[in-house]
Amino acid sequence: MNNFVWQESDSQDFIDYGRYFVPQREAQLQMIADLIPQPTGEAHILELSCGEGLLAQTLLRRFPSVTVHGYDISPAMLEQAQLRLAHFGQRFVTRQFDLN
């Protein structure tokens, strides 16, 4: 059993060093997006643990009719995601959410 509890300091570390923690993450994001069929109209995607918004960014770019709802426990991650995706306007919606 893992008793690890995410802390806000973990969020900042991941924002700063995530590109090193996850090798080839851009390729991984593209592979995930490739698995999602093209919507035939307005659609909504729920991303749990959205982090700094990298997957949401990939999805919003690929699917112009999609709104992504990004949920995360970390205020720092949500703030970073909101900054990254502000130009998508109402197509990116965030909410602080604890999976526990």
Q: What is the pLDDT of residue 1?
A: 61
User: Which CATH number is 8-96's, of 1.10.10.60, 3.40.366.10, 3.30.930.10, 3.40.50.150?
Assistant: 3.40.50.150
Query: What angle is formed at CA 32 by the lines to CA 17 and CA 100, rounded to 5 degrees?
Result: 65
How does pLDDT run along the chain (100 residues), one tens digit per residue? 677 777 788 888 888 877 777 788 899 999 999 999 999 999 999 999 999 999 999 999 999 999 999 999 999 999 999 999 999 999 999 999 988 7
Contact criterion met (CB below 8 Å) for 47 and 70: yes
Where do the structural domains in the chain lie, given as residue ranges?
A: 8-96
